[in-house]
A and B are shown apart, each in its own frame.
Chain A
Amino acid sequence: AQSVTQLDSQVPVFEEAPVELRCNYSSSVSVYLFWYVQYPNQGLQLLLKYLSGSTLVKGINGFEAEFNKSQTSFHLRKPSVHISDTAEYFCAVSPFQGAQKLVFGQGTRLTINP
């Protein structure tokens, strides 16, 4: 079985400051890793995903994430945030087994203050 823990339920930051949203996972099999973003009252959209290769993955809107296999982490970062980044962010894993069944974390609400 897999589980995903997002270590912060809410993260407030000032505009133009850097941010890190933390994600740890547990799995008995290898997994692919995803970050999705949800703007208020909308569906989710993919920010980035790690499948293989370089452990530093770049996504849309200036976000990047680093896969650390030894620490089973996949933290999301952005060097300078904007008001428009206010949203909920979800980390998810997809095990290398059968059909894709994403397992999501609880979400982190990112609030950008002017």
Chain B
Amino acid sequence: DGGITQSPKYLFRKEGQNVTLSCEQNLNHDAMYWYRQDPGQGLRLIYYSQIVNDFQKGDIAEGYSVSREKKESFPLTVTSAQKNPTAFYLCASSTSGSFEETQYFGPGTRLLVL
């Protein structure tokens, strides 16, 4: 089955710690995205990538970093600079990143601060 997998489902972060959220897709999509979801605020774009080895900041990139070394993988690191990391994080992909395309979402990772 083609789709997007995110791991882990739940992640706990200690103060001052960096954590990395995994996102893998086998849809052969070029474009991948990371969103943050907070209650009552909808989804906000953190980073996106339209091609391997290239990525762009979204609306709330501060305190986050990404890499895109392989087409199928787009990991997100939440750094210690992100002071309020508790949220639901969603990864998505689309064929090429063109503005009319459907984005396909993974099941999400819930990040909690200890």
| Interface residues of A, Cβ cutoff 8 Å to B | 4, 9, 32, 34, 36, 41-46, 49, 51, 90, 94-102, 104-107
Contacts and interface: CB of A to CB of B under 8 A. Distances in A.
Contacts of A44: 43, 90, 92, 103, 105
A84 B106 CA distance: 20
B53 interface: no
B100 A32 contact: yes
Interface of A is mostly: loop
Contacts, number: 67
A43 B102 CA distance: 14
Contacts of B41: 106
A67 B79 CA distance: 41
Interface residues of B, number: 27
15 contacts: A9-B40, A32-B100, A43-B4, A43-B92, A43-B108, A44-B103, A90-B43, A98-B99, A99-B31, A100-B98, A101-B58, A102-B103, A104-B43, A106-B41, A107-B40
Given A32-B100, A43-B4, A51-B100, A100 B31 contact: yes
B12 to A, nearest CB: 17
B2 interface: no
B107 A42 contact: yes
A101 B45 contact: yes
Contacts of B58: 101
Interface in B62-114: 90, 92, 94, 97-108
A46 B43 contact: no
B100 A102 contact: no
Nearest to B40: A106
A99 B103 contact: no
B48 A101 contact: yes
Contacts of B106: 43
A32 B102 CA distance: 11
A104 B102 CA distance: 14
A106 to B, nearest CB: 5
B42 to A, nearest CB: 4
